[in-house]
Amino acid sequence: MPDKILIVDDDAGFRMYASRLLEQTGYIIVMAGDGATAINMARKENPDLILLDLVLPMGDGFMVMQRLKQMPALAQIPVIAVSGTNIEIFRRRALEAGAEVFLPKPIKNDVLLAEIQKLLTTKTATAAAGKKKILLVEDEPNFRQMLETYLKWAGYKIFIAPDSISALAAVTREKPDLILLDIGLPGGDGTMILHKIKANPATAHTPVIMVSGKDPAVYKDQSLLAGAAAYFQKPLKNEDLLAAIHKALGEP
């Protein structure tokens, strides 16, 4: 699928010029004319790269970058900052704010295309190499699909196991960075799997987060004593689970 680029500029002429150039090169283009719309479009479209003017109505480009860096799902999107004024001052401020590249206007076509290709190639390679793997062990299809969709959105690579037998095989085969483990499973409950994971030197340090609809008075202390990094009772809040995953993986 072609890469998607969000062009943010209040100059309609520049937006159209840049969109025609990039569409001819094979990119998918979405656009915004002000800072507030830029943030909303980034959330909605999850672009692969943002071409961002720094002088904008309704929140300048520096505010846009600050807001994006505060959102885990969008913080890693590469930004090419552009401006036709205050070139040297804005270059320094843009790079300090998190832009990967600063280009002064008017922008040369070959320079813009080369910087975009370089950033997208680096982003693809980094994502493939650095994406953390989570093994999701859950037998309930709807809950499993909801978690899988959310965790992929959060940037993780997800593997699925619907029962205890396939879960133990997947732990050995996939070597996940974290295991999200239901307790009530066909073929043996999750506490049995947890004990086996912690008893194996090769997997003992893999963090395991337990999730269950069963009585926490019975299973929570038992799971934590067995080495679980956290315990969640169904139904759960996605943002609380994500915070626990970040903590268990040592992520900011």
Q: Check which CATH number belongs to the domain holding 33 and give it.
A: 3.40.50.2300
Do both 10 and 121 map to the same domain? yes
Same domain assignment for residues 160 and 237: yes
- Which of 105, 128, 151 delimits the end of a domain? 128
Question: What pLDDT digit, counting tens, does each position of 207-221 carry?
Answer: 999 998 887 888 899
Q: What span, in angstroms and rounded, lies between the C-alpha atoms of 219 and 214?
A: 7
- 137 and 76 housed in the same domain: no
The three-state secondary structure class of 8 is: strand
Q: Give me the number of domains the chain comprises.
A: 2
70: confidence class by pLDDT, cuts 50, 70, 90: confident
- The secondary structure of residue 32, as a DSSP letter, is E
Note the pTM of the prediction, 2 decimals.
0.54
pLDDT on residue 91: 93
The domain boundary, picked from 128, 145, 174, lies at 128
Residue 134, strand partner residues: 158, 178
Predicted pLDDT at 47: 95
**Residue written as tokens 């996939």?**
174
CA-based nearest residue to 60, from 107, 108, 8? 8
> 112 and 198 in one domain?
no
* pLDDT for the residue numbered 30: 97
Which domain covers residue 224, as residue numbers? 131-249
Q: Which of 111, 128, 145 is the last residue of a domain?
A: 128
Same domain, 60 and 167: no
23-52: average pLDDT: 96
Confidence of residue 127 (pLDDT cuts 50, 70, 90): low
Inform me whether the pLDDT recorded for 128 exceeds 80. Answer: no
pLDDT at 126: 57
For residues 95 and 174, membership in a common domain is answered with no
**109 and 179 share a domain?**
no
Q: Do 65 and 153 belong to one domain?
A: no
Distance CA 137, CA 180 (A): 6
Indicate if 82 and 11 belong to the same structural domain. Answer: yes
Q: Are residues 174 and 187 located together in one domain of the fold?
A: yes
* 168 shares a domain with 123: no
On whether both 31 and 86 belong to a single domain, the answer is yes
**How far is residue 5's CA from residue 47's CA, in Å, rounded to a whole number?**
5
Q: Do residues 100 and 78 lie in contact, with contact meaning Cβ atoms separated by under 8 Å?
A: yes
